[in-house]
Amino acid sequence: MPIPRAAVVVTGTEVLNGRVRDANGPWLADRLTELGVDHATTIVVGDRPEDMRETLRWLGAQGMALVITSGGLGPTADDLTADVVADFQGRPMELDEALEGRIAAKLEPLLRRFPDLDVDAWRIGTRKQALVPRGATVLEPVGTAPGLVVPPADAGPTIVVLPGPPSELQAMWPAALEAQALHDAVRGAGSFTVRTLRMYGMPESEIAETLRVAEGSVPGLDSLEVTTCRRSRTRYAKTYPSSPS
């Protein structure tokens, strides 16, 4: 059985245009390695529904067994991830009234703190976050946004939908791992060993030549994925103005 392939989709125009640095993609990449699946790609998309749909269609065509999204689960109009994923998976959105009540309970302190809040807008936002795809596993909110594990209605990837704030996403990950749909998606996962070899005082051309020689003399090297990353250290010297003579 081939090792399942997985992808990460980081959503948010603020991430795409560089105003917010993505912390979720690298963290999720490590978690996928721990799961023993082949992390094929991480993609950043803006808060545009068609771009998100096109990304999911492309990933499905590439044979991904698992897709993890981050962001787009809040109460505002640009938070569209749950709707887009539900449509892609062929599952209608339904109101989870019990979930709506739990989200509302989390927000009640805000109403007491800010008595002039628009209560109707608050209720609309709460209800929006409690709309979930039929058949999805709900991951209890750490903040106010629930996560989701959404299996395909037919063929295609299972999609794990997680909130954007890193603290919420990371705290929700253990619950995602318990979902049966995620277990089904990564059935056949293996294990990966990652080793880092640090070299000093050697230019990249020498490393490249070493690898070329090794390819013809080290059995099994062609079964490994070898990547190189060059880092340089710059030393800064402070200068001080001369004392007046």
Q: Give per-residue pLDDT as tens, 145-168.
A: 999 999 998 889 999 999 999 999
Question: Is 236 a member of any domain?
Answer: no
* Number of structural domains found in the chain: 1
Question: Is 213 a member of any domain?
Answer: no
Q: For residue 52, give the nearest of 71, 65, 31 by alpha carbon.
A: 71
Question: Is 206 a member of any domain?
Answer: no
Q: pLDDT at position 217, please?
A: 84
| CATH, residue 46 | 3.40.980.10
Distance CA 161, CA 93 (A): 14
Distance CA 191, CA 181 (A): 20
| pLDDT, tens only, 173-208 | 999 999 999 999 999 887 777 778 887 877 888 888
Is pTM beyond 0.85 here?
no
Q: pLDDT at position 233, please?
A: 56
Summarize the confidence of residues 217-238 as an average pLDDT.
68
Question: Is 57 a member of any domain?
Answer: yes
- Using the predicted structure, report yes or no on whether residue 236 has a pLDDT greater than 80: no
Question: Is 242 a member of any domain?
Answer: no
Q: pLDDT at position 204, please?
A: 82
b or e along 209-242 (b: 16 or more beta carbons within 10 Å of the residue's beta carbon)?
eeeeeeeeeeeeeeeeeeeeeeeeeeeeeeeeee
- Using the predicted structure, report yes or no on whether residue 86 has a pLDDT greater than 80: yes
Question: Is 43 a member of any domain?
Answer: yes
The pair of structure tokens assigned to 64 is 């991904």
Question: Is 110 a member of any domain?
Answer: yes
Q: Which residues form the domain of 149?
A: 5-185
